[in-house]
């Protein structure tokens, strides 16, 4: 089934862990979620910045290490090609829950990262003016400190127990308001954010498409079309 992209003006895509599976990124939630050796909900909680910041780095430093050898796959590349081939009157917004930065590495430009980007490090002190910076260190042995204020440095991602930052949340809402094609790829269709986003898209009158390895459970009626399979196989054929 081919989607005729030229029929749409405001295209919004939401991606989750499923799109990066073929790039070898292990998810830290869910069934095959490999961070099962850790209780991520506890070890990855924002509270650990205060009482055990090394745990944060043990967990997310390992994810950063995986990324050194990870490459964008055919699904990332298909979305990047879609954006590059748009007419000037078409808008495309790629909202992702992934923190791996693989969409940008594939060539996607208008990317809204709901949960931040693991490839950046920032200061844990919200009042500090140290700008987030790209960083490949995994800090397995020692917690890094801010050169400006001395506080702990942390990965620039949304930790468990933290809210989605205001800016990407607003960017996602704005894109959905006028959306006429919405696709959720590699993410659960029945829980937030996909469940909220598809409802907004439905209100806007969009065509709503769900693409994932697993069927929706329970089925979310706001998605009018469902395609089951691997994103890296389905997307190049559909787009
Ligand atoms: Zn600082």
- Tens of pLDDT along 145-162? 999 999 999 999 999 899
151 CA to centre of ligand 1 in angstroms = 5
Write the CA distances from 101 to 98, 136, 181, integer angstroms: 7, 13, 23
**Residue 115: active-site member:** yes
130 CA to centre of ligand 1 in angstroms = 6
- Whether pLDDT at 135 is above 80: yes
- Tens of pLDDT along 32-48? 454 555 677 777 889 99
- Tens of pLDDT along 172-212? 999 999 999 999 999 988 888 999 999 999 999 999 999 99
Model pTM score? 0.92
136 CA to centre of ligand 1 in angstroms = 19
For the chain, which domains are there?
1-24+72-115+163-239 (3.40.50.1220), 26-69+118-157 (3.30.1600.10)
Active-site hit among 43, 76, 103, 115: 115
């Amino acid at each position: 089934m081919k989607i005729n992209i030229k029929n749409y003006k405001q295209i919004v895509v939401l991606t989750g862990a499923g799109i990066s599976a073929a790039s070898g990124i292990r998810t830290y939630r869910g069934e095959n979620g490999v961070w099962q050796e850790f209780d991520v909900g506890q070890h990855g909680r924002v509270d650990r910045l205060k009482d055990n910041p090394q745990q944060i780095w043990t967990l997310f430093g390992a994810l950063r290490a995986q990324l050194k050898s990870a490459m964008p796959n055919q699904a990332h590349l298909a979305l990047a090609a879609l954006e590059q081939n748009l007419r000037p009157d078409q808008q495309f917004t790629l909202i992702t829950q992934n923190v791996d930065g693989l969409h940008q590495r594939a060539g996607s430009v208008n990317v809204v990262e709901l949960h931040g980007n693991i490839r950046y490090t920032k200061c844990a002190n919200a009042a500090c003016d140290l700008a987030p910076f790209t960083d490949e260190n995994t800090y397995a042995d020692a917690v890094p400190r801010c050169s400006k204020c001395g506080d702990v440095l942390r990965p620039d991602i949304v930790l468990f127990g933290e809210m989605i930052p205001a800016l990407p949340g607003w960017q996602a809402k704005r894109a959905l308001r006028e959306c006429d094609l919405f696709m959720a790829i590699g993410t659960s269709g029945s829980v937030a954010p996909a469940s909220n986003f598809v409802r907004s898209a439905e209100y806007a009158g969009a065509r709503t498409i769900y693409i994932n390895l697993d069927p929706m459970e329970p089925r979310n009626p706001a998605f009018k079309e469902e395609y089951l399979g691997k994103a890296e196989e389905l997307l190049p054929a559909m787009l």
